Amino acid sequence: MLRIIGTSLKIVGGALLVLAAFLAVYVFWLSGSSHRPVGIRAAAPYVPPGGPVLVFGGNRATGLEVVKRLKARGGQVTVAVRPSSDTAALRALGVATVVADAMDAEQVRSAVAAGGYAAVVSTLGGGRGDKARRPDFIGNRNAIDAAAAAGVKRFVLVSVVGTGDSWETAPLPSRRFLKTVIALKGQAEDHLRASGLGYTIIRPGGLGDVKPTGTAVLADDPKAFSFIARGDLAELVVQALGDPAASGKTYNAYDPSRRTMWKMFTD
């Protein structure tokens, strides 16, 4: 019996070592990509969109970083919020808000129509719950339809690597655990392309609340994958909004200095 127990412990121990080795390899290498992107978008001088900008998802995370950067460029920014949203950070920045729950099509339509907006930015997504309660598609669809109806000229959508022709670019764990999110954001992308709006779609890979590097770029390459700070992603969003040549384009956000997950912990 003791021999059997000892053998079992050795097997378990060996399995744990294999698992630990796999995790180490994943963090250092497999979580990233060996692909060198092509179609890197050259930085261009920022051109104001010609009027106020409405941001959906702008009270937190990436959206808030976008708002900060638009304000820093002297832009007139309004953020669409739900009645229950925490707007403390926006108030501190002196940013106007309008109540427009993205899941309420009529509320969104009224808010967009009344604002005279030249551009809309959406970072909506990430909510929990079933498909009917997630804003990844429905919320973005409502914002897109409202912008088209109001004659908005530009719409920038933050999506995710794994949608459309970038499906195989996403790491296997992402394809498994974010399958629903990827599918919904893919629907939002398709809806935006068919809307008639001047659009830019930006797909980040691994995204985190880490220090910006300032080295991130946009790549017209569905195979481009890296990890990226929210601040760097926000900068790319604003750059795309301020570049008329980015209209009608779908980009992957790529940071050459964070090609693997490990770099998110060490920088």
Q: List pLDDT tens digits, range 28-69.
A: 444 556 788 999 998 899 999 999 999 999 999 999 999 999
What's the pLDDT score for residue 27?
47
Residue 248 C-alpha from the chain's centroid: 17
**In the beta sheet, which residues pair with residue 80?**
56, 98
pTM: 0.87
pLDDT mean over 196-216 = 95
The pLDDT tens digits for 16-26 are 565 555 455 45
Asked if residue 174 has pLDDT above 70, the reply is: yes
What percent of the chain is predicted at pLDDT more than 90?
A: 75
Asked if residue 232 has pLDDT above 60, the reply is: yes
What does the alpha-carbon distance between residue 224 and residue 205 come to, in Å, rounded to a whole number?
9
Residues 6+ apart with CB under 8 A from 122: 55, 56, 57, 139, 140, 143, 144, 155, 156, 157, 158
Query: Which tokens sit at 162?
Result: 């794994």
Query: Which tokens sit at 197?
Result: 């709006």
Least confident of 29-43, 141-155, 198-212: 29-43
**In the beta sheet, which residues pair with residue 120?**
54, 155
Give the amino acid at 102: A
What does the alpha-carbon distance between residue 207 and residue 216 come to, in Å, rounded to a whole number?
12
**Element holding 63 (H helix, E strand):** helix 61-72
pLDDT mean over 170-194 = 94
Tell me the pairing of strands 217-219 and 249-254: antiparallel
Asked if residue 130 has pLDDT above 70, the reply is: no
The pLDDT tens digits for 86-96 are 999 999 999 99
What's the pLDDT score for residue 10?
55
- Where in the chain are the domains? 31-266
What does the alpha-carbon distance between residue 154 and residue 142 come to, in Å, rounded to a whole number?
15
95 within 8 A of 67, measured Cβ to Cβ: yes
Q: Please provide the average confidence, as pLDDT, over all residues in the chain.
A: 89
Q: What's the CATH superfamily of 31-266? A: NAD(P)-binding Rossmann-like Domain (3.40.50.720)
In terms of Cα–Cα distance, which of 45, 51, 57, 113 is closest to 89? 57
